[in-house]
């Protein structure tokens, strides 16, 4: 039964008494969508013009996800008179249907749904059979012989394809009737084939678990429409898994049992005994794994199975490395030259620990010489004729490592060599990396699962050095690997603190360190004439700040500094929403830096518009294409005939189907989190009170340290002060440190 608004002011009243309201009578309309007048991608509200069977055009309004021009639908709802727009049809439910008009059938048959039928034969079939063409194909396809040029072989192909797609058509109508977009319907059918409808009917929550783009809330709406009870074990189990996944999205690998039950109650709205039942089912199905802990107080930590396995594997492999006797290497002082002897004591210690211990860590902020230390490690290892491997989590970080050491560095994914056929890394426990020295840079970005894959492939006896800034934001994925490895106190750590780039007059470096130490950056204009590398632009109003950011990128920075506004300038925003969030800024900057032009092809996917020349970012690891989360690129070619497009990344050109564009975002502006591991010639950061919930010291510090030659902060002193003072970022729930607890390893001989 349809749920109607419970606010009495929204209900039609009789005799002004709320208890005497009457429900609107549901009517049906059916026809072809002529025009999509308006569509809101956030809430799926749409306004469409529909051509009905009696050739009347009707305006439909309401929540209609996935509707497209040219689509035939049947909608149920009620008629209303809008004070400005007149008579319109308010949609309650709708579903896609086969076309009934000759024009609709012609477009349907020419859409590629049947092999051997394109525009020409679609036109011939409709001219011959008219609106009866669908029935002919359904019941007596042999009559296609009446059309010149269609022989037995082609009829057999058409008949087979029509029969094959019959079930798909029924499934598509069923799925779209549940409010799913055509794109999602196609993916569901591709995933479950002939069993798609039955799979959804039996357990719609499988969609949330097995398909990107469908979350628990969407699956829950489908389940409710299918009559699945709120206390169904299916729903309770799926809700528990979703609530736990929500914790992992915040960076945790596990969650205390009471916290998960509390979160699930807010999601599911069922009694405590039902929540307990849902948790029991999830544990029994091995989708959630409990782990009792005694300290700091007795509780049970709950893990997604994959993260518990990854955390245990990571700890186990690190313990093997720490316990394996690894002979110390002599330092080839005579081969290193004067640069080594100009290192400070901490820097020399870092190099020597890399040679004397199987596992060591180097940490420090910008400008303290981490890169110099790594280059000296590499030079010393080369002098000893050791085999060296260098890697970093992102392509840009790997490129910087290559430039610093004059040796090829790879991303961790490419170092481990993803095997598309086996859907696993080539390098693992059984096929380890062969190296004497392995250096991993930007380790603050390393999450638990990638860390587990990396350390599984490290052969005992390899000298491993991790390099990173412990004060930066933790990894985007679950875990706090660098933090936990330092906290376990079993691995020698060198903290570099002496700032070298400060001597070059870099206000970026001095201000970043000031923020990291809880002090306001120096916002005064530069005292020397000419250009400087740090500017503060004070603007409290978000709209004015957004306009200023656009002018800086499009005009002032290119003219004064000569930087390319697309490839060398990057906006880093604390949040996605708001006038200075990434969504609004990307729309503004796309129109300024890459406006529409007849020579530029473009396409839309939902609310996202992509055109040739756009700056984009990959937002998910795509092992098959060899492109990974956080990598930046530029759209090279859009081909609307084949519905494909290509993107130039640092690693090369990657080809996509247009429906795969859900893996990409416009990247003129990205979040600070997404910028980790990258470095840009110029960075602009809006710092406004509308970003209050994200104003944290380590977030601001991370964004500032992404700038290489120019940093501009735009915002209010109040917001900046909030960020500097807020040094209480959320502590991630992990148990890696506890798994690594034990006696410190004895120094290697």
Evaluate the omega torsion of the peptide bond into residue 362 and state whether it is cis, within 30 degrees of 0: no
Residue 371 DSSP one-character state: H
Nearest of 674, 597, 680, 594 to residue 635 by alpha carbon: 594
Average pLDDT over every residue of 10-31: 52
Q: Which of 55-64, 101-110, 274-283, 716-725 has the lowest mean pLDDT?
A: 101-110
Q: Up-side HSE of residue 75: CA atoms within 13 Å toward CB?
A: 31
**Number of neighbours of residue 86 by Cβ within 10 angstroms:** 9
Are 165 and 187 in contact, with CB atoms under 8 Å apart?
no
Q: Is the pLDDT of residue 745 over 70?
A: no
Beta bridge pairs of residue 35 = 49
Helix (H) or strand (E) holding 171: helix 152-177
Res 76: pLDDT? 87
- Residue 304 backbone phi and psi in degrees, to 5: -65, 140
The DSSP code for 357 is: S
Give the long-range contacts of residues 150-155, CB within 8 A, separation 24 or more. Answer: 150/121, 154/116
The CA-based diameter of the chain, rounded to the nearest angstrom, is 100
Beta strands at 615-618 and 664-666: parallel, antiparallel or unpaired: antiparallel
φ, ψ of residue 367 in degrees (nearest 5): 80, 10
Listed residue (213, 175, 210, 202) closest to 96, CA to CA: 175
344-356 burial, b at 16+ Cβ within 10 Å, e below that, comes to eebbbbbbbbbbb
Higher pLDDT, 662 or 248: 248
Say if pTM beats, i.e. exceeds, 0.85: no
Q: Is the Cα torsion angle 463, 469, 471, 475 positive or negative in sign? A: negative
pLDDT on residue 528: 67
CA–CA dist 653, 632 (Å, integer): 12
Structure tokens given for 717:
């002193």
Tokens 């609310």 sit at which residue? 607
Encoded tokens for 511: 């201000």
Residue 12 has pLDDT above 60, yes or no: no
- 8 pLDDT more than 80: no
The stretch 429-454 carries a mean pLDDT of 96
DSSP string, 421-490: TTTEES-SSSS-B--SEEEE--GGG--HHHHHHHHHTBPTT-EEEEEE-TTS---SSS--HHHHHHHTS-
**Radius of gyration of the chain from its Cα atoms, rounded to whole angstroms:** 30
The reported pLDDT for the residue numbered 19 is: 36
Helix/strand/coil for 379: helix
pLDDT of residue 167: 67
What is d(CA 742, CA 489) in angstroms, rounded to the nearest whole number? 9
Q: How confident is the model at residue 281 (pLDDT cuts 50, 70, 90)?
A: very high
pLDDT of residue 747: 38
CB 730 within 8 A of CB 247: no
How much is the pLDDT for 111?
64
Position 452 pLDDT exceeds 80:
yes
**Tokens at residue 607, please?**
């609310």
Convert 106-147 into a string of H (helix), E (strand) and C (coil).
Answer: HHHHCCCCCCCCCHHHHHHHHHHHHHHHHHHHHHCHHHHHHC
Does 234 score more than 80 pLDDT? yes
Asked if pLDDT for residue 643 goes beyond 90, the answer is no
Residue 395 has a pLDDT of 84
- Confidence band, pLDDT 50/70/90 cuts, at residue 14: very low
DSSP state of 383: H
Q: What's the pLDDT score for residue 338?
A: 79
So what's the pLDDT on residue 541?
A: 94
CB of 355 closer than 8 Å to CB of 340: no
Distance set, CA 583 to CA 589, 609, 629, 659, 664 (Å) = 10, 12, 18, 20, 13
Q: Give CB contacts under 8 A, 24+ apart, made by 219-224.
A: 221/179, 222/178, 222/179, 222/180
Q: In which residue are the tokens 């500032």 written? A: 704
- Which CB contacts under 8 angstroms, 24+ apart, belong to 230-234? 230/268, 230/269, 230/270, 231/270, 231/274, 233/277, 233/278, 233/281, 234/203, 234/205
More confident residue, 326 or 481: 481
The answer to whether 390 and 401 are in contact (CB under 8 A) is: yes
DSSP assigned state of 635: E
Lowest mean pLDDT of 149-153, 251-255, 405-409, 556-560, name the range.
149-153
pLDDT category, 113, cuts 50, 70, 90? Answer: low
What does the alpha-carbon distance between residue 646 and residue 658 come to, in Å, rounded to a whole number? 10
- Predicted confidence at residue 204, as pLDDT, reads 93
**Tokens of residue 16, six digits:** 């002004």
Give the bridge partners for 604, in sequence order.
609
Closest CA to 332 of 313, 354, 305, 316: 354
Q: What is the pLDDT of residues 409-422, one digit of tens each?
A: 999 999 999 888 88
Q: Measuring CA to CA, how many Å separate 619 from each of 159, 660, 743?
A: 42, 11, 40
Strands 72-82 and 57-63: unpaired
- The pLDDT of 486-503, averaged and rounded, is 86
- Is pLDDT of 684 > 50? yes
The alpha carbon of 185 is separated from its chain's Cα centroid by a whole number of angstroms, namely: 21
> Which token pair is 141?
């396809």
Distance CA 616, CA 669 (A): 9
Residue-level pLDDT at 181: 67
pLDDT digits (tens, 9 = 90+) for 188-227: 887 888 788 899 999 999 998 888 778 898 899 899 988 8
pLDDT of the residue at 2: 34
Q: Where does 326-413 show beta strands of DSSP type E?
A: 359-364, 388-392, 409-411
The backbone torsions φ and ψ at residue 63, rounded to the nearest 5 degrees and listed phi first, read -80, 110
% pLDDT > 70, the chain: 91
**pLDDT average, residue stretch 704-731:** 91
Q: What is the pLDDT at residue 15?
A: 34
SS3 readout for 667-692: CCEEECHHHCCCCEEEEEEEECHHHH
Mean pLDDT of 357-365: 94
Query: What pLDDT score does 188 carry?
Result: 86
Mean pLDDT for the chain overall:
87
Q: What pLDDT was estimated at residue 592?
A: 94
Residue at token pair 């993803």 = 418
pLDDT at position 115 is: 67
H-run or E-run covering 35: strand 27-39
DSSP 663: G
With 80 as the cut, is the pLDDT of residue 114 above it? no
Closest of 684, 662, 574 to residue 618, by C-alpha: 662
pLDDT of residue 180: 76
Average the pLDDT over 10-21 and give the result: 34
Between CA 708 and CA 694 the distance in angstroms is: 23
Strand pairing category for 569-573 and 669-671: parallel
Q: How large is the average pLDDT for residues 341-368?
A: 93
Mean pLDDT confidence for 302-324: 95
Share of the chain above pLDDT 90, in %: 55
């Amino acid at each position: 039964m349809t749920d109607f608004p419970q606010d009495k002011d929204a209900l039609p009243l009789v005799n002004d008494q709320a208890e005497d309201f009457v429900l609107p009578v549901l009517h049906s309309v059916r026809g072809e969508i002529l025009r999509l007048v308006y569509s809101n991608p956030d809430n799926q509200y749409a306004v469409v013009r529909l051509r009905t069977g009696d050739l009347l055009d009707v305006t439909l309004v309401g929540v209609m996800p996935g509707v497209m021009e040219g689509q035939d639908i049947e909608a149920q709802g009620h008629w209303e008179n809008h004070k400005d727009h007149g008579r319109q049809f308010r949609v309650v439910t709708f579903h896609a249907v086969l076309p009934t008009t000759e024009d609709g059938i012609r477009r349907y048959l020419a859409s590629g749904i049947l092999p051997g039928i394109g525009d020409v034969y679609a036109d011939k079939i409709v001219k011959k059979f008219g609106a009866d063409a669908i029935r002919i194909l359904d019941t007596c396809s042999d009559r296609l012989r009446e059309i010149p040029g269609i022989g037995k072989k082609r009829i057999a192909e058409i008949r087979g394809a029509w029969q094959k797609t019959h079930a798909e058509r029924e499934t598509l109508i069923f799925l779209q009737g549940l409010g799913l977009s055509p794109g999602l319907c196609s993916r569901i059918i591709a995933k479950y084939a002939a069993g798609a409808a039955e799979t959804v009917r039996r357990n719609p929550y499988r969609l949330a678990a097995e398909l990107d783009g469908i979350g628990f809330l969407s699956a829950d709406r489908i389940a409710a429409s299918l009559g699945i009870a709120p206390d169904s074990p299916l729903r309770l189990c799926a809700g528990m898994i979703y609530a736990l996944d929500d914790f992992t999205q915040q960076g945790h690998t596990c969650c205390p049992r009471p916290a998960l039950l509390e979160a699930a109650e807010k999601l599911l709205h069922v009694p405590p005994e039902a929540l307990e039942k849902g948790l029991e089912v999830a544990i029994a199905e091995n989708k959630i794994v409990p782990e009792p802990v005694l300290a700091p107080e007795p509780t049970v930590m709950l893990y997604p199975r994959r993260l518990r396995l990854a955390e245990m594997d990571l700890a186990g492999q690190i313990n093997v490395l720490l316990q394996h006797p690894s002979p110390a290497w002599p330092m080839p002082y005579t081969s290193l030259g004067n640069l080594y002897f100009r290192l400070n004591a901490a820097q020399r210690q870092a190099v020597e620990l890399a040679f004397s211990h199987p596992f060591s860590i180097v940490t420090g902020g910008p400008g303290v010489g981490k890169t110099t230390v790594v280059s000296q490690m590499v030079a010393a290892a080369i002098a000893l004729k050791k085999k060296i491997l260098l890697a970093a989590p992102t392509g840009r970080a790997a490129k910087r490592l290559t430039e610093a050491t004059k040796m090829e560095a790879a991303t961790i994914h490419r170092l481990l060599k993803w095997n598309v056929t086996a859907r696993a890394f080539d390098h693992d426990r059984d096929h380890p990396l062969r190296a004497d020295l392995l250096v991993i840079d930007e380790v603050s970005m390393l999450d638990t699962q990638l860390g587990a894959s990396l350390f599984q492939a490290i052969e005992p006896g390899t000298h491993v050095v991790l390099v990173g800034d412990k004060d930066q934001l933790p990894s985007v994925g679950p875990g706090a690997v660098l933090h936990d490895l330092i906290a376990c106190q079993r691995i020698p750590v060198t903290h570099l603190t002496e700032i070298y780039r400060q001597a070059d007059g870099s206000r970026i470096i001095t201000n970043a360190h000031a923020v990291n130490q809880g002090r306001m950056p120096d916002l005064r204009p530069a005292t020397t004439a000419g250009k400087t590398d740090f500017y503060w632009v004070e603007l409290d109003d978000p709209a004015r700040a957004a306009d200023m950011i656009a002018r800086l990128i499009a005009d002032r920075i290119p003219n004064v500094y000569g930087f390319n506004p697309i490839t060398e300038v990057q906006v880093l925003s604390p949040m996605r929403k708001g006038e200075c969030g990434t969504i609004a800024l990307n729309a503004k900057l796309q129109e300024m830096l890459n406006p529409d032009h007849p020579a530029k092809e473009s396409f839309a996917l939902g609310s996202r518009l992509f055109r040739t020349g756009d700056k984009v970012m990959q937002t998910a690891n795509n092992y098959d294409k060899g492109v990974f989360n956080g990598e930046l690129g530029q759209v090279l070619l859009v081909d609307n005939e084949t519905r494909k497009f290509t993107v130039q990344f640092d690693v090369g050109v990657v080809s996509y189907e247009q429906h795969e564009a859900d893996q990409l975002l416009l990247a003129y502006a990205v979040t600070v989190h997404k910028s980790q591991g990258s470095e840009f010639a110029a960075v602009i950061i809006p710092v406004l009170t509308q970003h209050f919930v994200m104003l944290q010291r380590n977030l601001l510090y991370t964004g500032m340290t992404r700038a290489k030659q120019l940093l501009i902060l735009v915002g209010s002193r109040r917001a900046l002060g909030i960020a500097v003072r807020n040094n209480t970022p959320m502590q991630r729930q992990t148990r890696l440190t506890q798994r690594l607890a034990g006696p410190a390893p004895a120094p290697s001989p």
